[in-house]
Structure 1
Amino acid sequence: MKIFLVRHGMDEEGYRGGWSQRGLIEEGINQSARLGDYLYHHSEQYKINTVISSDLPRAVQTAKEIEKRLYIKGLYLKDWREMNNGDLAGMPNKEAELKYAGVYFNTLGMDTPFPGGESPRNFYNRICTSFRDLCRSIEEQQIKSNVLLVTHGGVINILYYLLGNQNWTNTSVFHSIGNTSVHTLEKGVNGWEFSSMNMMSHLG
């Protein structure tokens, strides 16, 4: 049983991310298409049967490019969104710095929410719950393995800490997670573990 975590393609710079409704730039679409082609040409290696994605536009656009090449219809879920940054979502950086000076992901207290959003602890708990639910669904064969999950850098970073049995906070060091990178999880005797990290051969 495997789960392939994929970060969405490149999106617009200069705006706050989180629950932004902004989509990919052309390069991000191209990255996603190249990943789709790579997965198609290496289908015997990956054996993907299920595609799940965050329902935010940048993840949806990435998943759609993969869907077209694997002929698998995706399931789009709010559970796998990036952290909810509330009023700052999609806001131009300059405007955010004026209206919400000093308010960044890593300056919040663990229980301090973004204005109109969620706190880092809420975010962590949401992703841990979503991941455990996904693993249970795969193990109980409610969802067919192997699963490709298109999500966000912050989400994948939390899963590195969770599966490494390391304490996570919003000031923890961020793992290398490139746009359209693939991070492979396998179910073994010790449970779910990473077997491949930040694979980006399709962009080489």
Structure 2
Amino acid sequence: MELVIIRHGQSEADLLGVHEGRADFPLTELGRKQAGKMAVYLAENLPPDLILASPMKRASATARVLQKTIGCEIQYYDELKEYNNGVLAGLSKKEAAITHPLPKGGRPAHIPIQDGESELEFRYRAEWMLHHVLYEYRDVRRIAIVSHGGLISNLIKAFLHQPNGKFAFSTGDTGIHLLEQQEDMRFVRFLNRQDHLL
């Protein structure tokens, strides 16, 4: 099984200087163009047999562009949503630094942000999603997963059996990662490819 993992295109929050997370901003015009280029690239090189996507606006719109280009089925999972950043969602970064500053030394991984989830809960959600995909869709040759930067980073950590440390896998707008599961072996074919945007 191949997992083609894709981040959504540029969203309006990227231009506003706000904490996005669970704030549900749509794609910008540039984001829609990025999604179109990504879809053409995948159609020509790695066409998926199935698309799984976050239902949030920026990810679902990106997934629909891919579906329209490829023509395969799309299914939405709440588990593919971005980190639940609770009270920070939609707040300007300047305002958040004043009203909800990080505790000294950072927030412990097991303690959720107000009205949100903890880092450990977020990681568990990604672990659950990965295991669900590998089991429930084990007969599907190639699956595209359209999601968000934080969730994608945790999916890759889970795929590689990496701990929940202070490191991340970066993904640019419509960046593509290709992971492959072959029986008991896992392969990273490439990470954060954005050739389609050149």
Is 2:48 aligned against 1:48? yes
Given that 1:163 and 1:193 are in contact with CA atoms closer than 8 Å, whether structure 2 keeps it comes out as no
Given that 1:83 and 1:118 are in contact with CA atoms closer than 8 Å, whether structure 2 keeps it comes out as yes
Residue 162 of structure 1: aligned partner: 158
Q: Within 2, Cα distance between the matches of 1:9 and 1:76?
A: 17
Is 2:36 aligned against 1:28? no
Q: Within 2, Cα distance between the matches of 1:57 and 1:161?
A: 25
Deviation of residue 71 (structure 1)? 1.7
Given that 2:179 and 2:188 are in contact with CA atoms closer than 8 Å, whether structure 1 keeps it comes out as yes
Residue 137 of structure 1: aligned partner: 136
Could you tell me the TM-score, scaled by structure 2's length? 0.90
RMSD: 1.9
Q: Which one-letter code corresponds to 2:80 in the other structure? A: W
Residue 147 of structure 1: aligned partner: 143
Given that 1:4 and 1:182 are in contact with CA atoms closer than 8 Å, whether structure 2 keeps it comes out as yes
Deviation of residue 164 (structure 1)? 2.7
Q: Within 2, Cα distance between the matches of 1:26 and 1:177?
A: 19
Is 2:189 aligned against 1:195? yes
Q: Which residue of 172, 178, 181 maps to 2:172?
A: 178
Q: Within 2, Cα distance between the matches of 1:189 and 1:71?
A: 28
For structure 2, the residue ranges without an aligned partner over 5 or more in a row are none
Q: Within 1, Cα distance between the matches of 2:157 and 2:71?
A: 33
Q: Within 2, Cα distance between the matches of 1:68 and 1:92?
A: 34
Residue 76 of structure 1: aligned partner: 76
Q: Which one-letter code corresponds to 1:177 in the other structure? A: T
Residue 92 of structure 2: aligned partner: 92
Residue 2 of structure 1: aligned partner: 2
Residue 117 of structure 1: aligned partner: 116
Deviation of residue 89 (structure 1)? 1.3
- Secondary structure of 2:114 counterpart: coil
Q: Within 2, Cα distance between the matches of 1:92 and 1:176?
A: 22
What CA deviation, in whole Å up to 9, does each residue of 1:104-139 have, x standing for no partner? xx9321111011010000000111011101110122
Q: How many residues align?
A: 195
Q: Within 1, Cα distance between the matches of 2:127 and 2:137?
A: 15
What CA deviation, in whole Å up to 9, does each residue of 1:78-110 have, x standing for no partner? 01111111122122223322321236xx93211
Change (3 A) 1:165 1:77: closer
Given that 1:32 and 1:62 are in contact with CA atoms closer than 8 Å, whether structure 2 keeps it comes out as yes
Percent of residue pairs bearing the same amino acid type: 26
For structure 1, the residue ranges without an aligned partner over 5 or more in a row are none
